[in-house]
Amino acid sequence: MAVDEMYDKCTSLASNLWWSWVPEIQHLFRDLDPVRWRQLDHNPIALLKEFTPERLYERANEMVLFTRINQSYRLLKEYMNSRQTWAANNAGVLGAKPVAYFSAEFGIHESLPIYSGGLGVLSGDHIKSASSLGLPLVAMGLFYAQGYFRQHLNIDGHQSEEYIDTKVDDLPIQEARKPDGEAVMIKLETRDGSLLAKVWEMQVGRVRLFLLDSNVEGNTPEDRQLTSRLYGGDERTRIRQELVLGVGGVKALHAIGIDPGVYHLNEGHSGFGPLEVVRQRMEEDGLTFENALRDVAAQTVFTTHTPVPAGHDRFEPDLVEEHLGPLRDQLGLSYEQLMSLGRIDPQNNDESFCMTVIGLKMSRTANAVSQLHGCVSRRMWSHLWPWRAEEECPIGHITNGVHSQSWLAPQIQTLFDKHFPLRWMDRVGEPEVWENIHDVDPGELWEIHNTLKGMMISFVRRRLTSQCRRRGEDETSIELSRTVLDPNILTIGFARRFATYKRANLIFSDLDRIDQILNHPNRPVQIVYSGKAHPKDEPGKHFIQSLANLRKDPRFSHRVAFVEDYDINVCRHLIQGVDVWLNNPRRPLEASGTSGEKVVLNGGLNLSILDGWWAEAYDGANGFAIGKGTSHVSDEVSDERDGQYLYEVLENEVVPMFYHRDVDGLPREWIRRMINSISTLAWRFSSDRMVMDYTRTCYVPAAGGLSCKV
């Protein structure tokens, strides 16, 4: 292979984010320079930039990588050109009119910091599955030049936030272009002047992801910063970001020459978008507002994610008028008519403008993200349909899932490959595929799980050690970090955003009792934590501080670890190595939750409140439940009660089962539960199943006009 040819092939592989779920390609880049690979956040574009074509050729030669490069390159071409996909048989009606999927964040890989938490990772997993299934879908989001913050804890465990500029040159990104080759520039009129945005494009497997960016000449210095951070700034920043995402996103698709058959608004942030689609319809087809709205709503799918009333975006009417006034004029709407689209009671002038309400009013199909969340959402929004009984409210549910290939450890994948049907990775949403888990040797599964657990502990120690060094701590602390945790001990993981309803420190509500559990002489337990609190969430930061400071308490210093700067990379390490994943939100505030679904794939067991996805997943033998699936109006009562339930299930079920070993040293009953968990849950809570559900019950009907109900 010639020098240039090889360099071009590597560049092609790095330029399609397909690599983010194909371990062979990641290993290829890793093997070029393992140390830099890690230091560069596993970013192949950044890694390639460190090589000249000649040096890369030499290195590939040294490492005997030519065959693997050729093979990976061929696989990428095959993948991109393949026409035999699930969607070819099941979503033909979409044809050349793709689904346009709007989301304020996309969590695809740690090197692309345009996500903050669960919502983003869900969107990332959604488009990865759309790619795998061959679904005609394009995605629209915002380009955050600084992304979400990096978290550091100081010596007292206090969180500080650092924003780092993303280097565009290090990303597999290019300017989106119109059919005539010109770069796309979007202009949005407000009552207070105009706002410009350019559009970036990335290739995520077969899916094109577009990202709007307000950092362009012609904008005020303030507006150039508008899209730089996720969830930063005030109400005004927010509504302007949402104007760019919703209205700007629809304009961008039009400019690029994409005519979507379906619009999917993932959460209310993009709720203004359909108004621009209506405007296009009125202009192009000469429809009245009402008729255009009826058509557009029939094509629009809305997903709500928040069971907490305060979690829904609301704006004061003045802000809405400032930003949507010019569009309202074009639509021929009065001020009151526009406001009524965001109000439950159109006549109530005291109601602010709610993005979930406009999302519900502009779509014919709406869904929550788990069965329980569906019930909660119907109750919460029933006032929108006062003439209907609560259970008749048109909000269904499609439970969230995760992208198996992105979260499955390569070692486990190799084990499954031996027993599962050929090309099973293309069929992860089918239950039959996972039945084969019963053919796997329990001892082998256990051994691989323990290997992954060891790797996870090494990762935690490495991270803790560098955290200590950064803070300039003494040798004693560094030594503790190097030896914290024990691979033979039952290991619990807890990592997610530190929103207070998730109750990260519930397990530490009774220090004496948890001391006895963690330091039991024969059956000890240890816990790994990670997670960020929103910069403005002081109680959340306090939770972090109290957990991080446990390392100073001799009772807990070897048993508890807090890994800074939770992101997709930290998550992947933890979910692949823990024995138990703990989830104890205040029911019913966890709409779905997805991190526990990632654990399932790798053989970890869930220990969770019966909330979100777990309320419909738990069957008595595929994990553990905390409590009985009830809610209480008083937070104090439910915290007290759930704390007791948590201790009881740990002491009576989880710990004894883990340490009960047979003559071969295997925890037979535990391994049986691991297998039950994989066989009953992996397919159901995969994003392939989720996207297939969206396709059958939302996208196909919305594109073809069939009647539909989720």
Ligand X SMILES: *Cc1c(COP(=O)(O)O)cnc(C)c1O
Contacts of 365 (CB under 8 A, 6+ apart): 300, 301, 302, 394, 396, 697, 698, 701, 702, 708, 710
Among 113, 118, 249, 623, binds ligand X (CB under 6 A): 118
Task: Cite the DSSP H helix spans in 259-409.
Answer: 273-285, 289-298, 317-331, 335-340, 355-361, 371-381, 404-407
564 touches ligand X by CB under 6 A: no
Task: Cite the DSSP H helix spans in 353-421.
Answer: 355-361, 371-381, 404-407, 410-419
Using the contact rule CB under 6 A, the part of the chain among 67-75, 193-201, 336-344, 562-570 near ligand X is 562-570
Among 121, 525, 582, 605, binds ligand X (CB under 6 A): 121
Rounded to the nearest 5 degrees, what angle is found at the Cα of 696, between the Cα atoms of 692 and 698? 105
Decide whether 134 or 535 has the Cβ nearer to ligand X.
535
The two tokens of residue 175 are: 């300017």
Q: Write down the least CB distance from residue 41 to ligand X, Å.
A: 13
Decide whether 86 or 566 has the Cβ nearer to ligand X.
566
Q: Write down the least CB distance from residue 568 to ligand X, Å.
A: 5
Decide whether 18 or 566 has the Cβ nearer to ligand X.
566
Q: How far apart are CA 692 and CA 561, in angstroms?
A: 39
Q: Write down the least CB distance from residue 321 to ligand X, Å.
A: 36
Q: Write down the least CB distance from residue 604 to ligand X, Å.
A: 13
Among 267, 313, 322, 567, binds ligand X (CB under 6 A): 567
Decide whether 567 or 579 has the Cβ nearer to ligand X.
567
Q: Write down the least CB distance from residue 245 to ligand X, Å.
A: 21
**Residue 218 near residue 258, CB atoms below 8 Å:** no
Decide whether 132 or 606 has the Cβ nearer to ligand X.
606
Q: How many residues bind ligand X (CB under 6 A)?
A: 12
117 touches ligand X by CB under 6 A: yes
Q: Write down the least CB distance from residue 335 to ligand X, Å.
A: 39
Decide whether 60 or 121 has the Cβ nearer to ligand X.
121
Q: How far apart are CA 356 and CA 303, in angstroms?
A: 9
Q: Write down the least CB distance from residue 26 to ligand X, Å.
A: 17
500 touches ligand X by CB under 6 A: no
113 touches ligand X by CB under 6 A: no
> In terms of Cα–Cα distance, which of 278, 409, 426 is closest to 341?
278
Q: Which amino acid is at 35?
A: V
568 touches ligand X by CB under 6 A: yes
SS3 (DSSP) at 562: strand
Decide whether 571 or 655 has the Cβ nearer to ligand X.
571
List Cα–Cα distances, 49 to 36, 70, 251, in angstroms: 11, 20, 34
Decide whether 568 or 710 has the Cβ nearer to ligand X.
568
Using the contact rule CB under 6 A, the part of the chain among 117-125, 283-291, 444-452, 538-546 near ligand X is 117-125
Map the footprint of ligand X across residues 588-617, applying CB under 6 A: 593-595, 598
Q: CB under 8 Å, gap of 24 or more: what pairs does 116-119 form? A: 116/148, 116/230, 116/231, 116/497, 116/532, 117/496, 117/497, 117/532, 118/496, 118/497, 118/592, 118/593, 118/594, 118/595, 119/266, 119/267, 119/305
Q: Which amino acid is at 378?
A: R
Decide whether 232 or 249 has the Cβ nearer to ligand X.
232
Map the footprint of ligand X across residues 460-499, applying CB under 6 A: 496
Beta bridge partners of 101: 139, 264
Decide whether 282 or 402 has the Cβ nearer to ligand X.
402
Q: Write down the least CB distance from residue 120 to ligand X, Å.
A: 8
The two tokens of residue 636 are: 């104090």
The two tokens of residue 424 are: 């099973």
687 touches ligand X by CB under 6 A: no
Q: How far apart are CA 258 and CA 267, in angstroms?
A: 22
Sign, CA torsion 242/246/247/252: positive
Map the footprint of ligand X across residues 622-641, applying CB under 6 A: none
Using the contact rule CB under 6 A, the part of the chain among 115-123, 177-185, 347-355, 678-686 near ligand X is 115-123
Q: Which residues bind ligand X (CB under 6 A)?
A: 117-118, 121, 496, 566-568, 571, 593-595, 598
